[in-house]
Amino acid sequence: MKTIFTLGVLLVLTAVGWGAGEAADDPGQAVLLRGETFRDSGRTTDAAACFELAMELSAGTSPQSFGQAQKAYWMAVQQGGDFPRAYSFFSRLAEQFPDSPEVLAAKASATGGYIGWLAQAGLMEPVGQERIRDLDNQARELYETALARDPDNFQALFAFAIYESYSPKGAARAQALLARLDALRDGHPHYPWAQVDQLRARLTAAK
């Protein structure tokens, strides 16, 4: 897994946050707004904690709130470089919501981000290749499980395609996932297809 995968996570976070309209009594929205206030005032740690709570409150009940909170959270994580925190958080969240494809895909992306952080921190050798392979396998299994729960889940398909695009010899698998995404275009014109096309263009240019 290339170090740059940590930047690939940002492609995923900009793709989440879409979905159906919100319920008026969605508690995740209020917590998300508080987190945004903390973020705007420079209280990054408090903001991240609010975004985590917003995801806990909206997981499995409000895909849009979950996506919006996840997007804000990844921005905070990227700003602070705290991928270990994200990995720990999504690991806990996946234990709480083992049937949510969005949560499982988020943990998979957090696992990839954690691998990238280990590389950037110069910790790949101390951690050892066996542990890295275990993490890589864990991420792939999470994506596969998410897609078994919901074969047409945009976040899981797109995030898995990004993950594969940064994997050695993963280009063909990434293209296959993009083909599955393309089958959803006519029925979901509001999905962020421009980002899917950008990923395809990058894969094509890398041939």
In angstroms, what CA-CA distances link 58 with 25, 27, 146?
A: 11, 7, 17
Residue type at position 57: L
Contact indicator for 51, 72 with CB cutoff of 8 Å: yes
Q: What average pLDDT does the structure give for the chain? A: 88
Could you report the per-residue pLDDT of 11-59, keeping only the tens digit for each? 454 455 444 444 456 788 999 999 999 999 999 999 999 999 999 999 9
Q: What is the mean pLDDT of residues 82-109?
A: 96
- Quickly state the pLDDT bin for 177 (edges 50, 70, 90): very high
Q: CB-hemisphere CA count at 13 Å for 28?
A: 24
Per-residue tokens: 38: 């903390």
Q: What is the pLDDT of residue 22?
A: 47
Q: What is the mean pLDDT of residues 53-79?
A: 90
Q: Of residues 168 and 203, which shows the higher confidence score?
A: 203
- Quickly state the pLDDT bin for 8 (edges 50, 70, 90): low
Q: What is the pLDDT of residue 2?
A: 44
How far apart CA 179 and CA 194 sit, in angstroms, is: 14
Global pTM reads 0.88
Q: What is the largest CA-CA distance in the chain?
A: 50
Dihedral angle computed from the Cα positions of residues 182, 186, 188 and 193, in that order, rounded to the nearest 10 degrees: 50
Could you report the per-residue pLDDT of 110-135, keeping only the tens digit for each? 999 999 999 999 999 999 999 999 99
